[in-house]
Structure formats: structure tokens, C-alpha cells
Amino acid sequence: MNRASHRWDRMSFSAMRRLQARRLRRFLRHQVLPFSTYYRRLWRKHDLDARHIADVADLAQLPFTTKRDLADNARDLILKPSPETIRKYLPKTALMRLLARRLLTGKSGLERALTREYSPTSVFFTTGRTAGPTAVFLTPADEALLLIAGGRMVDVLDLFAPVDRGLNLFPFAPHLAFWQVAACGTARNILTLHTGGGRAMGTEGILRLLKTIKPTFLVGIPGFTAHVLRCARKEGIDLSRVRVVATGGDALTPVLKERLQKLVPADARVLSVYGFTEARVCWAECLAGTGFHTYPDLGLFEVIDPDTGDLLPPETTGELVYTGLDGRGSALVRYRTGDIAHGGITYTPCPECGRTVPRVSSALTRRADGLVNIKGTLVDTTVLADSVAGDPAVQEWQAVITEEGRFELYVAMADGDPEALARRIRSAVEVRPDRIHVEPLESIVQRLGLETQMKESRILDRRHEIVEAKS
């Protein structure tokens, strides 16, 4: 039952490109160029001018923005108007509007209006595994976009009030995931109980809520969501009303998706939510699993060759690059996400819901986190995870590469054979664990930090800790 009929998700490809070109020009010329210290400096260095960007294709002329650029220039990426930049860069029509406001409200009134529009009122932090947290700033304008995205996610997931009610299992923290789910409920008046995750309420408290409110949807990090559902099944809690389980913050591998599916009713949908703090919004996967439905009026995705930076054609595997088309605060242009979309972006209408928005492949991996050197062999961490979690006897697990380079595995098993698991891993990744430690489920849950950390510690490389300590 599809209730979303907004123009944002029903445009033709040509209409979408015209809209994106118009918004891109306006955003770059009237916001980024005038008010971003970082981009004015960068584009001047490369002898570029945002006023020469007339179409989506012209975006390729501009250099990429990387995670390092954001970390090193967080404050310079915040849009900050000044009398000088307003006079120098804004078009006459915009200047006339500001003059009219000043005449009506006085100088102090104009200053208050600019403060309301551009002064950050909140901050999120990135949660990557390979780098420290970086601040991303939001103004009230960005918080309004968060609400718009929340409403659209609810529509894509086919949830509606007053029938649906949900549990937000994300940790309570200054991170995008928790607040985007909060915005979903607010945008569409859907009762959503925000547990704060295991750190705030604990598994026992969350299980009591499951009994009480009987949610129709749950949203959380995949590992912790599986942990909660596993405990609920063990205690005999009625999950018959659950029809959507949406996960984010970590990859939802095919094996983990299958595990989650077995913990909820057979007709429930288990799917992913894609988001990164730097974009300040998230995107939901279609209920049919046909990809993440993006918002072409709010942002623009490109797919590039991760090694050369060259643009790639539709439906080609590559790294996602994102440019916001609206907002204030931390404005980013051609931001390299580090996420590899296997199958790239599709521009044909969704065969399930009919939406015509660009769809990002839901088969995502992290470029930085994809490979790890274990005893001289490059191991794909996704393949490693699936080889362990694919053993039906494995309840939970953690892989550790010690300071000395040993590959050790900690598992909770239900009547399983550790030796058979070792052979399975060896066959999948060509490396055999030096030792498998079989421990109680509660011990592995504690090792993973499912109830104490923002992200689970699934694969730990202790060698990196030694390098960081020395540096």
C-alpha cells in the first residue's frame, strides 16, 4: 500500500535533472561560494568558480572533498555570511530582498534573521571505525531537512499513524542514526519509543517495552537488533505484530539479514537504512530490497572509480560521492563517502513501488574496511563475517588480530564443532584461525560491546592500536 505521492519521488529523469541543475546552481552560487571559507579558498587555488557550474555534468570540474578535508577544516566548511561576502557574491535580487528586510525590521532585525538561518544549533559526530569523530554542524534549516527526510523514509517503509508504532534501538548519542529515527516519528506523527539502546535502558528494559507496546517496526544497529530479538524469542515475547526491521550504522550482510528474518514473522521485511553523518539525512531501502530511495531535490549522488576518481556510468560498481543541494551548517560538495555501491546507481523506476528516484544499490561495503591483512593474506572482511555467521551453530562471534599478528576467534556456539568452523573459515578466506575460543553467549555480547558501544567491535585489529600508541 503506497501512500507517498509527492513530486519528489515521481519525476521523470529529464525533469529531475533540470531540477537538480537549477538547485545546484543556486546552492553553489548563492550559498557555498559566498559563505564557505573552505570552498572559496579551494576553488581559488584550482582557478575554479562555482558560477561556471551550470549543469549536473559540470560538477565533475570541481575537486572532491575527503574525510580528511572535513576533519582538518570543520569550522571553515560552515556557511558564514558576512557584510563583505554578501555584497561581493550575492546577486542583485538577493541583495534587494535583504535590503527590504532591513528597511522593515531594522539592522538588528536583519542580523537576527541571518543568525536564525546560519548559526548552528546542534552538532553531530561521525562514527567511523578508521578515524576519530569529526564534528558536523546543523542549523534549524538542516533540522527541517532532517524532518523532511524522516517523513520520506516513513513513506518508503510504508508506515503510517495510528496503526504503526516503533522502537528506536539506536544508542542515544550525538549521531545521525538516533536523531533521524526520532525525526521519522515526528514527521508523520508515529509513536516511536526511543530506548537509547543497551547503554541507556539495557536489554531487560527494552524487552519489557517489547512486551508492553507490541511494536510494528524496530530500527537499530544490526548486531544489537539481532541480540534483542534473540533474547525476546528466548523469553517467549510475542513479536507477531512486527512487520519491518530496519537496520543502519553497520552493514546488513546477507547472512545477518537471514538471521534477523528468522527471528521475526515470516512476512516481516528486514532491510537497510543508509546514511552518513556528513549528509545529515538518511535513506531507506525499498521494502522489496530494490535499493535505497534517494531524494533528488535535496542531494545528488555520483559514482566514481575509487582509484582514478573518474565518473562511472549507471549500474556500475564504484565509490559514492555526495553533494547536498540545500541546507546550511556544514555544506559539502563532491564528498567522497568511502562507500562502495556494488551495482552503483539505477535510474529506472522501482519495479516494486514505482518511485522514479535514483536508487543506490543496497549492496554496500566500506572501501577502508573491506580488506585486512591476516598473516600475509588479504582477507575480505565481509566474506570472513559471512563464513563465521553462516555456521548455524554460531550464536555470536568476534575476530581478533593480536599485537603479534595471531588470528583468534571468540564464539558462542550451540552444539557446534570448532574444528569444522575453522575449516569453513579456511576454505572461505584462505586463512585458518590460530585459535578458537568457545565462550558463553553473555561473554561474547560483552566483548562486542552490544550494550555499551555505539558500534559493535566485530573485527578487532590490535596491531593498529600499537601503531597509534607509538605515533
pLDDT digits (tens, 9 = 90+) for 452-464: 877 788 999 988 6
Q: Are strands 345-346 and 359-360 parallel, antiparallel or unpaired?
A: antiparallel
Q: Where are the alpha helices (DSSP H) in 235-380?
A: 254-263
Q: Are strands 335-341 and 364-366 parallel, antiparallel or unpaired?
A: antiparallel
What is the C-alpha to C-alpha distance for residues 332 and 326, in angstroms, rounded to an integer?
10
Q: What one-character-per-residue DSSP string does 222-247 give?
A: HHHHHHHHHHHHHTT---TT--EEEE
Strand, helix or coil for residue 336: strand
294 close to 9: Cβ distance less than 8 angstroms: no
What is the C-alpha to C-alpha distance for residues 316 and 85, in angstroms, rounded to an integer?
41
Closest among 15, 277, 270, 256 to 127, alpha carbons compared = 277
Q: What one-character-per-residue DSSP string does 410-456 give?
A: EEEESS--HHHHHHHHHHHHS---SEEEE--HHHHHHHHTTTT-SS-
295 DSSP assignment: -
Phi, psi for 387 (deg, rounded to 5): -70, -35
Cα Rg of the chain, angstroms: 24
This model's pTM is above 0.85: yes
Can 135-366 and 371-470 be said to share one CATH topology? no
Determine whether domain 135-366 maps to CATH 3.40.50.12780: yes
Amino acid (1-letter code) at residue 299:
G
What is the C-alpha to C-alpha distance for residues 359 and 362, in angstroms, rounded to an integer?
9
Amino acid (1-letter code) at residue 33:
L
Dmax (CA) of the chain: 80
Phi, psi for 53 (deg, rounded to 5): -90, 105
Determine whether domain 371-470 maps to CATH 3.30.300.30: yes
What is the C-alpha to C-alpha distance for residues 227 and 198, in angstroms, rounded to an integer?
10
Length of the chain, in residues: 471
Spell out the per-residue pLDDT of the chain, length 471, in tens: 334 445 899 999 999 999 999 999 999 999 999 999 999 999 999 999 888 899 999 999 999 999 999 999 999 999 999 888 888 877 778 778 888 878 888 888 888 888 888 999 999 998 755 456 899 999 999 999 999 999 999 999 999 988 999 999 999 989 999 999 999 999 999 999 999 998 888 899 999 999 999 999 999 999 999 999 999 999 999 999 999 999 998 888 888 999 999 999 999 999 999 999 999 999 999 999 999 999 999 999 999 999 999 999 999 999 999 999 999 999 999 999 999 999 999 999 999 999 999 999 999 987 765 678 998 898 988 889 889 988 889 999 999 999 999 999 999 998 878 999 999 999 999 999 999 999 999 999 999 988 887 778 899 998 865 444 444
Ordered by start, the domain boundaries in the chain are: 135-366, 371-470
HSE of 166, CA atoms in CB hemisphere, 13 A? 30
Sheet holding 364-366, edge to edge: 299-304, 318-324, 335-341, 364-366
Residue 194's H or E segment, with its range, is strand 191-194
Q: If 0-12 CB within 10 Å is exposed, 13-18 middle and 19+ buried, where does residue 267 land?
A: exposed
Q: Which residues pair with 436 in a beta bridge?
A: 409
